[in-house]
Chains A and B, each alone.
Chain A
Amino acid sequence: MYRWDFTPIWAHGDLLLAGLGNTLVLTAVALAGGLPVGLALALARLSGNRLMAAPAGLVIEVFRTTPPLVQLFWFYFGLPIILNVEMTPYLAAALTFTIQSGAFFAEIFRAGIVSVDKGQSESARAIGMSKAQAMRRIILPQAVKRMFPAMMERSIELMKTTTLVATVSYADLLYQANELAQKTFRPLEVFTAAALLYFVTITLVSALGALVERRMAQSGEMTR
């Protein structure tokens, strides 16, 4: 019978927490980059201009259809050869996950924008708004509310996918756990602790998301 011993993990708990911090930083950076990239891709795809729609569509489809680990390796090992620059694990991870989550967010934006009744943009244009104004003031505010659950789900997927960066030695939670397991010879305790940390973090984030979602639904009813 195996005797569990978590003392080495408590002793190095700061390592795991530092890893969790890096996981959260990377997720936040990819979100901050991915949302505008996603909006830009969605607007380009909906623009009706083939020169903009076709490349945007290609980026969206390629990044949604290929495995994220292959994308990460491409950005980390492949891209520096074209650009002739040095690539750090952080930069490669931030680039990969910004573009990749952007591709997924683009489809959520698109579905949200398309779901707003056509009459809304027509009446906005009729009272003299430009296309961009109508999008910014009328369409997007309504679309964002509807997109929120899907955005939340995608952000959680993003956080889980960031574990892949451990393979290019960015010091996220999984990477730190792997190091600690080798140092302490306690893989069972370390990986269990890491899994629990992920579980607690992700459960908290989704609970927070659900709370915001309910608030938004309530405030929507009141203004109506």
Chain B
Amino acid sequence: MQIRVQEAPFDYGAESARFTDGCNGIGAVVTFCGIVRNDGGALQAMEIEHYPGMTERALTQIAEEAARRWTLADCLIIHRFGRMTPGEKIMMVATASAHRADAFAAADFLMDYLKSRAPFWKKEFSGDSAEWVAAKDADEAALERW
């Protein structure tokens, strides 16, 4: 299990390849990458604030819960903080399992939980305005299916 919280960009291709190569012969790898939307050109930048210490702790707890629920050979979470522009990669998850069902389900679970249970907050900058992104009811409701 690998958890990384960092300001620097990451190489999604290289990380995916390294993760996959590390799961030698395991059967199934699922990867997901979250990217800053350009919102039709309106968004200039996004800033992500986080709670150092709790962030790593929450992500570890979420990954451990995924490993309890599904049979995983490995999982990886990388999440950035700081300022990003449209098109930049914000975060990625990767899961590895003997069969695809567990890998897909665990990746979906990790995403649902880290959206509303990991201490990150997004602020969007467009034109003269800067606004904190409000949490969506749908994101909270998404947790109920697990």
Do these two chains interact? no
Binding site for B on A (CB under 8 A): none
Binding site for A on B (CB under 8 A): none
